[in-house]
Amino acid sequence: MRTRSTRVALAVTVIAGVTGGLFQVVTGTATAEELPVKVPAPKGYQTTDFTSVDEFVVDGVHKHVLVTDPADGRLVALNYNGTTAAEALGLPGARGAALSTDSTTIYVAVENDSRIAALDAVTLQEIRSFPMAGEQPVGVAVSGSRLWFTTKRSNFGELDLVTGEVRLHDHGETNPWDNSGELMLAVNPANPAQLAVTTHAVTSGAVGLFDISGAVAERIGLRGYIPSNDVYDFNDLRFTTNGLALGGSNGVLLMALDADLTTTGRIATNWSVGLDVAATGWVATARPYFGNADILLLPAGATTATRELVLPTNQFQGGFDALAWEPGGDRLAVLTSSALGAEQLWVSESPTVDTATIALTAPANATRGAALTITGTAGSVPAGTSLTVSRTDLESPSGTALAAVTTGESGAFSFTDKPPAGGTVTYTVSFAGTADIRPASATASVSVSREIPALTLVPAGTVNTYNTAVTVTAKLGSTYRNRTVELWADPAGSDKANTLLKRATVDAAGKVTASLRLTRNTVISAVFTGDTRVAPRTVKSTLHAKVSAVTAVTKHYKTASGYFYFRKTKNPVFTTTMTPGAGRKQRLQFEYYSGGKWRTWKGYTLPLNSAGKSVYKLTGTHKTGVKYRVRTAYIPGTSGDSLNHTTYGAYRYFTFTK
């Protein structure tokens, strides 16, 4: 729609309104009960600033709002959240704009270049330019595969999109708009063979209706004069479901599609600065309102607003720039500005219908099989409205329908249920919607108890020699349906994954067994995943595994009574072989016998090689006649890792002689 002078008009109106009360809407003698329903305002999104706004088109296919800015010579595509999707520059005096029927191309009247530009609707890259033979186009409209335009010099015509030929309309002897300035036009969305034309921004002027199904436009209706008390200062022309709507400074005039364009009604407001008609027939018209942009919504054929959308611009002299319905849809897009020039885009979802609301209250916890009560409230629906109820649980993951509930006078309702399954139980209450009320639904979840099953696991806490084969057994008590148990083994160390040993149905005694070889400390888990009435449960046990640790002695000259004998001039060599591991070390501990007991002498933490071997030579001055012993040990943490259980090797006894 065209609103190039809107901002100035709004500022003047607001000032006048402060002193003269111009904000009253003249809609007859409406009582308080007949006041329009207030539509909740959508979120407003900040957009790029516009120096001027002329055309405002909603592209429902790409979810864009297209805005021409004649002063800056550009076309901007805004996303519904106000961000800029694309921008086309180099369009001086960009005025009217229209989408092709397939929404792939947008045509822009470039007044100052005397041309019409065809642009890609997504990227806004120019595809083709059509020179207008000296005419300055100001408006465009698409009818099927044909493009119609209006000019600044009181004429209209058709542009051949194939050849580029410009065909001005031949008015014959009399042009109803001769010397009237620029024209505006509209194509009937319900009947693309009808074109309406009138002048722009005049006190009064002619309105013409044309049949454009043939090679040339044939006038089939004309109204040569419209009294100013009906409408004046024309600013918008739209087809309704059964006629024409002409917007002006003092309201909107409704006309029949007959030869005389007979008046069928009038939407009377103190000021109308925007007009559009939805595919459903709903009329949206904007009027200035103190510090806001006020949108009146009227159902098809009505002359009194039944709904009202007020968008706060948050500035004293801010207000409305443009509005447009999404083609074929029920979204309404509105562009507003503040007195400081900041723009906001508002996209209202289905403002012509109410939005139902449903709120539910449910207990956090409940006992399976016991009665629980859900209460709720439905808003914006009449008393006696039927709401569907369903329950989703472990036994019915796709949902089970429960008895419908009916709302009371205040929208309240409640229902009682005995959940057959435990776990999380979700109740969904839904309103299907009507022609006047959008659907709604709400959910509430309840944690329903399940029995705790008996589950045991043996052995537990045992210490085993390296590489021992161990059999583990899990025993499951009574359950509802699930009789499967999993046995898992999780060896110590991040380099070994938790591994499923067995998943099986327990035997008649409730048992399931599995075997494994222990080379590391291992956590065994018996897992029951639960069923609809019995809760999941996991029990664990840790089975410990020692390392293999043996110390060999060399350089002795004899053995006797369990002792290794060395000459005092010889240095004993102790070679330890231990289960290898990355960064693993042995702890070699020496003791001597004195005073009737073994006492600590010295100890060393020595690294193992990749084969698990460590060699230590005992040097120094060796005393004769003293009894010694030595053993290797694996100590978790001290030995470089904690993969195994503490392990001590056998003592090796030795002594020195001369």
- DSSP for 516-551, please give it: EEESS-EEEEEEE---SSB--EEEEEEEEEPPPEEE
Has residue 168 been placed in a domain? Answer: yes
CA atoms within 13 A on the CB side of 49: 6
State the pLDDT at residue 269: 80
- Using one digit for the tens of pLDDT, what is the confidence trace for 444-486? 999 999 999 999 999 999 999 999 999 999 999 999 999 999 9
DSSP letter at 15 equals H
Q: What is the pLDDT of residue 203?
A: 74
Round to whole Å and give the CA distance between 108 and 118.
7
Q: How far is CA 617 from CA 279, 553, 575, 614, in A?
A: 98, 10, 9, 10
Distance CA 42, CA 346 (A): 6
Q: Which amino acid is at 52?
A: S
The answer to whether residues 363 and 444 touch, using CB atoms and an 8 Å cutoff, is: no
3-class DSSP state of 272: coil
Note whether 147 and 166 are same-domain residues: yes
Do 499 and 645 share a domain, yes or no? Answer: no
- Position 209 in a domain: yes
Q: Which of 545, 577, 606 is the last residue of a domain?
A: 545
Sorted by sequence, the CB contacts under 8 Å of residue 607 that are 6+ apart come out as 583, 584, 585, 614, 640
On whether residue 103 sits in a domain, the answer given is yes
Return all residues near 85 (Cβ < 8 A) that are at least 6 apart. 62, 64, 77, 78, 79, 122
* Eight-class DSSP state of 249: T
**CATH code of the domain containing 566:** 2.60.40.10
Asked if 541 and 649 sit in the same domain, the reply is no
Structure pTM? 0.68
Q: What is the DSSP letter of 451?
A: B
Asked whether residue 1 is domain-assigned, the answer is no
Same domain, 60 and 155: yes
Q: What is the 3-state secondary structure (H, E, C) of 504-516?
A: EECCCCCEEEEEE
Q: How many CB atoms lie within 10 A of CB 420?
A: 17
Q: Which domain, by its residues, includes 560? A: 549-657
Could you give the CA distance from residue 334 to residue 96 in angstroms, rounded to a whole number? 17
Any idea what the CATH number is for the domain that residue 490 is in?
Answer: 2.60.40.730
Q: What is the pLDDT of residue 205?
A: 86
Judge whether 302 lies within some domain.
yes
Contact, 210 vs 217, CB < 8 A?
yes
Asked whether 94 and 74 are in contact (CB, 8 A), the reply is yes
Domain with 369 in it: what CATH number? 2.60.40.2470
Of 297, 327, 352, the residue that ends a domain is 352
**Are 76 and 92 found together in one domain?**
yes
**Of 297, 320, 352, the domain-final residue:** 352
The answer on 414 and 378 residing in a single domain is yes
In a domain, 258, yes or no: yes
Question: Do 581 and 499 share a domain, yes or no?
Answer: no
Residue 345 lies in a domain: yes
Question: What is residue 5's predicted lDDT score, i.e. its pLDDT?
Answer: 39
- Both 262 and 387 in one domain: the answer is no
Q: How many Å apart are CA 323 and CA 3, to the nearest integer?
A: 9
Same domain, 242 and 272: yes
Q: Are strands 585-594 and 627-634 parallel, antiparallel or unpaired?
A: antiparallel
- Give the number of domains in the chain: 4
**Residues counted in the chain:** 658
Tell me the three state secondary structure of residue 494. coil
- Which amino acid, 208? G
Please indicate, yes or no, whether residues 391 and 333 belong to a single structural domain of this protein: no
| Residue 19: per-residue pLDDT | 27
Residues 179 and 304 in one domain: yes
**Planar angle of CA 80, 343, 90, nearest 5 degrees:** 85
Same domain (yes/no): 380, 296 = no
> 390 CB contacts (<8 Å, ≥6 apart)?
399, 400, 401, 402, 427, 428, 430
Residue 290 lies in a domain: yes
**pLDDT for 291:** 54
User: For position 320, what pLDDT does the model report?
Assistant: 83
> Three-state DSSP class for 587?
strand
The structure tokens listed for 166 are 């410009």
Find all residues with CB under 8 Å of 535, minimum gap 6, and list them.
422, 423, 450, 451, 452, 453
Residue type at 639 in one-letter notation: S
* Segments in the chain below pLDDT 50: 1-33, 315-317
